[in-house]
Amino acid sequence: MKKTLLAVFVIMSITSCTTTQTLYSWYDYEDITYQYSKKRTDELKVKVLEQYQKLTEKQKGTRGTVPPGLYAEYGYLLYMTGKHEEGLKFLKEEIKFYPESEKYISRIITQLEK
């Protein structure tokens, strides 16, 4: 009985120390996005665009895909910086990977194309 209890304790101790891998890689998304929302400078805009590009290209999370909404954010920001075709491409990628967003993103695309 004591050996069984000790074995259970050891197994629980070992498994509780492991880390769980996240679904998505976020890198410094929160920090840079927060900074940009507080102070919209050209320098921060460049950093945000670089961060979004990194997030779309290097996903190490268990899903291996970009987090929901990120293609839309990146596409919209690209569109607003004058990169219309590339921005629309990323907005359409959002719909491709997250079909439930189609109704909302399609409305954004329609408004931008006017």
Backbone torsions φ then ψ of 46, nearest 5 degrees: -65, -45
15 falls within a domain: no
- The pLDDT value recorded for residue 31 is 93
Cα angle 92, 38, 81; round to 5: 40
CA distance 114 to 84: 12
74 falls within a domain: yes
Q: What is the CATH number of the domain that holds 47?
A: 1.25.40
pLDDT tier at 7, thresholds 50, 70, 90 = low
13 falls within a domain: no
Q: How many other C-beta atoms lie within 10 A of the C-beta of residue 29?
A: 18
pTM for the predicted model, two decimal places: 0.79
pLDDT at 14 over 90: no
For the chain, how many structural domains are there in total?
1
Q: What is the pLDDT of residues 20-72, one digit of tens each?
A: 778 888 888 899 999 999 999 999 999 999 999 999 999 888 888 899 999 99
Domain that holds residue 100: 21-113
Radius of gyration of the chain (CA): 21
Q: Which of 76, 101, 96, 97 is nearest to 86 (CA)?
A: 76
